[in-house]
Amino acid sequence: MAGYVTIAPISDFLTGRGELREGKIRRYFLEGQEIGVSYWKGRFHAFSNLCPHNQFQFHFSVVDEDKVWCPIHYGIFDLETGARLGGPTNICDLPIYHVRVAGDHIEVSLTE
Ligand code: FES
């Protein structure tokens, strides 16, 4: 399927005080893929929820310092590009997906 698809309501990322929670990674499923979504520095980001090394699920970790962190073998990935910045050398970059907000929902495109 091409194009943007609704993946979650923005309310999934609100704190009890109604503020957007930075750095938390939530897991969703889209077109058979596990997608991690996080709010960081004013916008939403989407990426594969599975570490390219040993498939650790990032929703058990966080986004911080503009990076996605894997605590298992210390893999580090750039939040914008998915580039591997640290950890095992024999792994691929992290797939990054396009995100947009439509009303009170978050949409992700796996192809655009
Ligand atoms: S499982 Fe993520 S770096 Fe090994």
Ligand 1 atom closest to 75 (CA): 3
pLDDT digits (tens, 9 = 90+) for 75-90: 999 999 999 999 999 9
Q: pLDDT tens-digit profile of 12-49?
A: 999 999 999 999 999 999 999 999 999 999 999 999 99
What does each C-alpha distance from 64 to 22, 68, 82, 111 come to in angstroms? 9, 7, 14, 26
Distances (CA, A) of 55 to 49, 52, 71, 74, 77: 8, 6, 12, 13, 14
Question: From ligand 1's centre to the CA of 23, what distance in Å?
Answer: 19
Q: Which amino acid is at 21?
A: R
Ligand 1 environment, Cβ below 6 A: 51, 53-54, 56, 70, 72-73, 75, 87-88
Nearest-angstrom CA–CA distance, 76 and 52: 11
All domains of the chain in start order, with CATH: 4-109 (2.102.10.10)
- Ligand 1 atom 1: residue of nearest CA: 54
